[in-house]
Chains A and B, each alone.
Chain A
Amino acid sequence: MDRLGWTDAIVLDAFGLRIGVRSDSPALLRRAAARWTATGARLVTAAEAGAPDVLVAGLLSLHTGARDVTAGARPPMTLYDGAARIVRTADREELLEALDATLRMGIAHASPTHLLVHAGVVGYRGQAIVLPGSSHAGKTTLVRALLARGATYLSDDVAVVDGDGRVLPFARPLAVRDRAHAPQRPVPAESLGARVGAEPLRAGLVAITRWRDGATWRPRAVAGGAAALALIPHVGGMQKRPEHALGLLGRLLDGATVLRGPRGEADACARALLGAVDARTA
């Protein structure tokens, strides 16, 4: 691995973890770094580290074969996590997506300071509306419907919770599917005419829902331990750091209204969710 001709390396400081990323393609590494610095991570400088070697929690490697002059054709690109091969592909976007997913998984698993909840998040009236759900639950569709009704964008796939229980912006482009089970394509929130939130927000409303054909949004409120249990399936790092995760989960839910139930069309659900926040703040 170390003899593959790495030319550049960065250290990302993301939500309490330092993760190294190296590559044989400076341009690709710059793109990878830009995607993460836009979400609140920052690059650790050599001067800040104070030493030529920086201790990292993990090392990811993006190999493009750019310096492989013996290859007859451009070889496929590869992402490694440590020594484990994660993906081999000829598509740069797929490689960067795999890097993002691997970084996110690592942060969700091991962040000592933050909690990552699989959820869409928008801001409205100074509060976060958190929409936990697994893939294909319709989080992005509901986030889009909320943005169309004036909410601000924080994330369509992950709620990053800080030590005070506030939800941080994690404004990656929305991963939109044009039809069910089609591939996702990135759509910047700004291109939808939405504003992107810049400040951490306390959760005012947590809506645990997934789309069901013909369903109508008639949620029931859950509270106390039942509300925490409803969120646990979507919380990263639960098994690794349960005390930390339960503590931040409690702070996230402190003062929030938690609703649960299937939904039908996203727009009707979005209207009801914003109405619920209006009622809370009236």
Chain B
Amino acid sequence: MSPPPRPVVRSDGLIVTEAGGDTLVYDLATHRAHSLDPAAARLWRLCDGTRDVAAVAAAAGTSEEIARYGLARLSAVGLVVGAPSDAAPISRRALLRRAAAVGATVVLPVVLSVIAPTTLQSQASAGCKGVPCINALSCCALHPMCTGRPDDPKPGQCV
């Protein structure tokens, strides 16, 4: 019988900072930014490779089920390696429903993610593709060409 997995945080290629009580993690490999609420950040920091999931849950003061849920989220975004891979991972909704059934309040770890834009994307628009236009000045830098013609009353589209 193999020993239970001991999840460990990925430490290379990450920039970690604080934002109003949450932990912001920027992944230099994927250019994704992740926000960990205090519950998720606590789980993340406890993954030092010496604890299995039960020990992480005990140290975080939460249930093993919730720790398993949080570690699955952290693993999915690449911040933890070696987390147990469940065949049927429990969903957030199921956890909340179970807690409500017994009248309990649970604090679920929250991990939010966003892809960092290139400078061009950030300063232009991801949304002008296909918008009606009459010339290039109606369009944005990402999709700078207009298929319309100034002498044509029918508008073109930014491409």
A binds B: yes
In the complex, are the beta carbons of B155 and A181 less than 8 A apart? yes
In the complex, are the beta carbons of B119 and A224 less than 8 A apart? no
Q: Is A270 an interface residue (CB 8 A)?
A: no
For chain B, residues 106 to 154, give those with C-beta under 8 angstroms from any C-beta of chain A. Answer: 112-114, 116-128, 131-135, 137-138, 140-141
How far apart sit A184 and B136, CA to CA, in the bound complex (Å)? Answer: 10
Given A183-B137, A228-B19: A233 in contact with B117 (beta carbons within 8 A): yes
In the complex, are the beta carbons of A243 and B15 less than 8 A apart? yes
In the complex, are the beta carbons of B116 and A239 less than 8 A apart? yes
Q: How many residues of A contact B (CB 8 A)?
A: 42
Q: List chain A residues, Cβ under 8 A from B22.
A: 224-226
How far apart sit A102 and B71, CA to CA, in the bound complex (Å)? Answer: 44
Q: Which residue of B lies closest to A238 (CB)?
A: B116
| B interface SS class | mixed
CB 8 Å contact bits of A201-237 with B (1 = contact, 0 = none): 0000000000000000000000111111100111111
In the complex, are the beta carbons of B155 and A227 less than 8 A apart? no
Q: List chain A residues, Cβ under 8 A from B116.
A: 232, 235, 238-239, 242
Segment touching A, from B30-38, B59-67, B95-103: B30-38
CB 8 Å contact bits of A80-98 with B (1 = contact, 0 = none): 0000000000000010010
Q: Is B3 an interface residue (CB 8 A)?
A: no
B123: contacting residue among A184, A225, A226, A236, CB under 8 A: A236
B62 CB, nearest partner CB in chain A, Å: 20
Segment touching B, from A9-17, A21-29, A245-253: A245-253
In the complex, are the beta carbons of A181 and B133 less than 8 A apart? yes
Q: Is A118 an interface residue (CB 8 A)?
A: yes
In the complex, are the beta carbons of B119 and A108 less than 8 A apart? yes
Q: Which residue of A lies closest to B33 (CB)?
A: A232
Given A136-B125, A235-B117, A239-B116: A253 in contact with B155 (beta carbons within 8 A): no
- Further pairs besides A134-B125, A225-B23: 16, Cβ < 8 Å: A101-B141, A135-B140, A136-B125, A136-B128, A136-B131, A181-B131, A181-B134, A224-B35, A225-B35, A225-B37, A225-B112, A228-B33, A237-B119, A239-B117, A242-B15, A246-B24
A-binding residues in B (CB < 8 A): 15, 17-24, 26, 28, 31, 33, 35-37, 112-114, 116-128, 131-135, 137-138, 140-141, 155
A-B contact pairs, 24 of them (CB 8 A): A94-B137, A116-B123, A134-B124, A134-B127, A134-B140, A135-B124, A135-B125, A136-B127, A137-B125, A137-B127, A180-B132, A182-B134, A184-B137, A224-B35, A224-B37, A225-B24, A225-B36, A226-B22, A232-B33, A234-B117, A240-B119, A246-B17, A246-B33, A253-B19
B-binding residues in A (CB < 8 A): 94, 97, 101, 104-105, 108-109, 116, 118, 134-137, 158, 177, 180-184, 223-229, 232-240, 242-243, 246-247, 250, 253
